[in-house]
Amino acid sequence: MNKIIKDISKPISSDLKEFNDFLYKNLSSEVSMINSVVKYMIKTKGKQYRSILCLLCSRLENKEPNELSFLSASTVESLHVATLLHDDVVDDATIRRGWPTINKVWKNKISILIGDYLFSKSLINISKFNDLHCIDVLSNISKRLSEGEIFQIEKAINKNMSEKEYLKMIADKTASLISASCYLGFYSNNKDSIKGRSIQNFGEYLGIAYQIKDDVFDIIGNIENTGKSSNLDLKKNMLTLPYIYSINNLNKKDKRDFLIQIKRHISKKNINKIKNMIVESGGIEYSMKKIKELSDMAVKELDVFPDSDYKKSLILAVNFNINRKY
């Protein structure tokens, strides 16, 4: 685990250990193949960014996490991994977190079915909340996740998306779950609606910034740092902020050339040319400025909370996203 992730999770290290035991038990099945895949997923687990945020937020008012806190963290983690398994099939991805993807090891059918299993476990978890508000939050998140992904595919077919549409799309497909992670963690210990709205906004701004950073990595990242294949958005004609900015800020001739390149069969030569055009037109620089702007907005939302190690870790989590290399 990266040192900064260890620093972020340090105040909740014992909570995180308890959570991982809770998660493994929660995902266990009588079907041996499911258990084999679950063990592989836990072995190759990522940063657990959403779970860490959830547990940190549960302690923001200096209270111990409770069963609802761990149930919330387990639910958002299951939903997140389920979307990744389905994404990897849609994207024909073969590497994630530096390991072969589930669809690479067990093929697409098993990857989709395990994703469905994780969604079903999330639904079972939701039924255990015994809180209509939590159920409403998680049900709405599930809808937003699907709508965001489908909207992106629709726009990839049309090859047309505005910055406003892009920000709404990533708010749905990525930020909604990060926001829910923060909110449900806080709500498990505190029902203050004003502070609840602030922590929800914190997660939303951070989540949007997080996805923009991932989209930047798809262009300038490499598999050694990110642990996953790059240029997938280009190959699938997925329009992201660096592309959108470049298209809108190129002169007429360069814009025509750019559009010709992305409509062609994507070869290595074409990809390199498109990447150079995005960098030279300021698409990466603009995206990084947007990340910083959203990050500042996220940190501002934490002003309503008392100073604590947990609040410091949330700010560190924001800075981690700004500076991360994977």
- 121 contacts 22 by C-beta, under 8 angstroms: no
Question: What is d(CA 155, CA 68) in angstroms, rounded to the nearest whole number?
Answer: 38
Report whether pLDDT(1) > 50: no
Helix (H) or strand (E) holding 282: none
Q: What is the mean pLDDT of the chain?
A: 88
More confident residue, 121 or 160: 121
> What does the block give as tokens for 269?
């030569």
pTM for this predicted structure: 0.88
Q: Give the pLDDT confidence score for residue 267 in this predicted structure.
A: 61
pLDDT confidence band for 222 (50 / 70 / 90): low
Total number of domains constituting the chain: 1
Amino acid letter, residue 249: N
Report whether pLDDT(226) > 50: no
Which range is least confidently modeled, 99-103, 183-187, 286-290? 99-103
For the segment 41-46, the average pLDDT, to the nearest whole number, is 81
Question: What is d(CA 248, CA 31) in angstroms, rounded to the nearest whole number?
Answer: 52
Domain hosting 38: range is 3-323
Residue 242 Rama label (left phi>0; alpha psi -120 to 50; beta): alpha
Report whether pLDDT(258) > 60: yes
Question: What is d(CA 177, CA 180) in angstroms, rounded to the nearest whole number?
Answer: 5
More confident residue, 249 or 159: 249
Question: What is d(CA 244, CA 263) in angstroms, rounded to the nearest whole number?
Answer: 15
Which range is least confidently modeled, 20-34, 79-93, 196-210, 253-267? 253-267
Cβ-count burial 117-140 (b if 16+ within 10 Å, e if not): bbbebbeebbeebeeeebeebbee
Q: Give the pLDDT confidence score for residue 220 in this predicted structure.
A: 85
Q: Give the pLDDT confidence score for residue 262 in this predicted structure.
A: 66
Q: What is the pLDDT of residues 104-155, one digit of tens each?
A: 989 999 999 999 999 899 888 888 888 889 889 988 988 998 899 899 888 8
pLDDT confidence band for 227 (50 / 70 / 90): very low
Question: What is d(CA 61, CA 52) in angstroms, rounded to the nearest whole number?
Answer: 16
Q: What is the pLDDT of residues 178-214, one digit of tens each?
A: 999 999 999 999 999 999 999 999 999 999 999 999 9
Q: Give the pLDDT confidence score for residue 274 in this predicted structure.
A: 81
DSSP one-letter code for 12: G
CATH label of the domain that carries residue 286 = 1.10.600.10
Report whether pLDDT(170) > 90: yes
For the segment 19-25, the average pLDDT, to the nearest whole number, is 90
Q: Give the pLDDT confidence score for residue 231 in this predicted structure.
A: 55
Report whether pLDDT(166) > 90: yes
Q: Give the pLDDT confidence score for residue 182 in this predicted structure.
A: 97
